[in-house]
Amino acid sequence: MAHKVKEISNKPYGKNSKQFHQYWGKLDGNGEHIHPYVRHSVEKDVLSFCGWDNLENLFQRLDWRNSVMRDVGIIAFKMAGRINEILPLDNTKTVFDVQPKYIAVINFYILKRYDKILNREKKPIYHITCGRCGTENDMYEVACTKCNANLIHGGKKHFKTKPRIDTRQPFFIPRDEPFDKEFVRIITERKGLLFPSDDERRMGKPFSYGWAYHHITKIKLAENEMAWWNHRLRGERLMQLRERGFDSGELKNFSAILSDKTLEHYTKGIMTYANNKLNIGITPNELAEYGRKANLLKEATSKRFTQ
């Protein structure tokens, strides 16, 4: 294996430099990771819907202990939800109207958006991270309180934010698709939280995001198997709806996609031209297989260029 991954990588990611990739795992004899850290993204890895068989396979493997993780997976897929929107679902707040042909979902919370917190003068509150030493300085400082570096040119503003309470427009889940029975069971079998944690320290709270992340990402067992991560369930659902014929406006309504770049990824899908324009009848599973092969080949051949 030629993957060069440090045992703990301290490369900052995202806008908030306080977040770090931290990755621990088993090492081989050369001190390299047996399962190297891979940063997954829907744009890179979800080229077409993986197919109902692959989903069934995922749900089966999540089905252990009290099946909570399997249920979380089914709900996340069906609703094209982010896992942090699915875990706190509460059917006394979000209404599921079960009809013979569809299930209407009303008052589904979106947890992606953040608002800046304002001070009394209605100005956003922030701190300035020193570019030289990383110290967090008060927003009124012009020089770093620790190393005296110039913060106006060498500092980075980090705004204080709070989650914005926002909901999707009512949307409709068709009932003529697999996992319908399971879906109805999960949303109706209890009143209140759908996924209450069984951990004493989280009484009255749902299972945590980290818990779900752990169970979903450990599903990938072999090199040539599909990798799963939390956001992939939402991505697969959007691809499947796209292949069902949803246009970009309809996808937006269903899932409340926020960025045009993300929307574009789902609407330029290769499934459409392969089947509608060329009429060659490729199945989602076959197409997913082409996508996996492309990724594996890219990885294998790029290694040859870099060695």
By CB under 5 A, residue 135 contacts Zn ion: yes
Minimum CB distance to Zn ion smaller for 156 or for 160? 156
Minimum CB distance to Zn ion smaller for 2 or for 133? 133
Residue from 55, 89, 130, 241 that binds Zn ion (CB under 5 A)?
Answer: 130
Minimum CB distance to Zn ion smaller for 133 or for 300? 133
By CB under 5 A, residue 21 contacts Zn ion: no
By CB under 5 A, residue 147 contacts Zn ion: yes
Minimum CB distance to Zn ion smaller for 138 or for 299? 138
By CB under 5 A, residue 146 contacts Zn ion: yes
By CB under 5 A, residue 144 contacts Zn ion: yes
* Closest approach of Zn ion to the CB of residue 18, in Å: 15
Please identify, among the stretches 141-149, 207-215, 216-224, 293-301, the one whose residues bind Zn ion according to the rule CB under 5 A: 141-149
Residue from 132, 158, 160, 175 that binds Zn ion (CB under 5 A)?
Answer: 132
* Closest approach of Zn ion to the CB of residue 157, in Å: 15
The one-letter amino acid at 288: A
By CB under 5 A, residue 151 contacts Zn ion: no
Distance of CA 89 to the CA centre of its chain: 16
Report the interface residues with Zn ion, using CB under 5 A: 130, 132-133, 135, 144, 146-147, 149
